């Protein structure tokens, strides 16, 4: 049976998170701690808000780590999308990014 898009997404997030534990140990926990702090402050946030609070030398094994952590939190209903806005990072070329809040 061909996997669904949701199954492929979940598998990809799981693979990225597993690689973080196996190779770099701790990057996902750093991301999680920042998100936990934003949630505790009652703030809505974007991936860029998380990036802004990570240490300057933060260097995860994959560019997909932050989206994997956020995606896994959303899949577990810990956070939910509450809006969208354009990203200002040049590398994102004004792409849309979600605004998140605790559920």
Task: Judge contact between 47 and 66, C-beta under 8 A.
Answer: yes
What tens digit of pLDDT does each residue of 16-38 get? Answer: 888 766 655 679 999 999 999 99
Nearest 10 degrees: Cα torsion 88, 97, 95, 27: 80
| CATH-assigned architecture of domain 5-102 | Orthogonal Bundle (1.10)
Query: Whole-angstrom Cα distance, residue 30 to residue 95?
Result: 25
| Closest residue by Cα to residue 82 from 34, 32, 43, 30 | 43
**How far is residue 33 from each of residues 2, 6, 18, 85, measured CA to CA in Å?**
36, 26, 17, 24
Predicted pLDDT of residue 21: 67
- Domain borders along the chain are 5-102
């Amino acid at each position: 049976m061909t996997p669904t898009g949701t199954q492929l997404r979940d598998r990809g997030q799981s693979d990225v998170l597993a690689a973080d534990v196996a190779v770099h140990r701790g990057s996902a926990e750093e991301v999680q701690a920042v998100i936990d702090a934003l949630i505790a402050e009652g703030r809505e946030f974007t991936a860029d808000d998380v990036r802004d609070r990570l240490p300057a030398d933060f260097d995860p094994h994959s560019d997909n780590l932050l989206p994997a952590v956020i995606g896994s939190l959303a899949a577990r209903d810990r956070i939910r999308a509450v809006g969208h806005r354009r990203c200002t990072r040049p590398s994102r070329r004004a792409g849309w990014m979600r605004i998140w809040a605790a559920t």
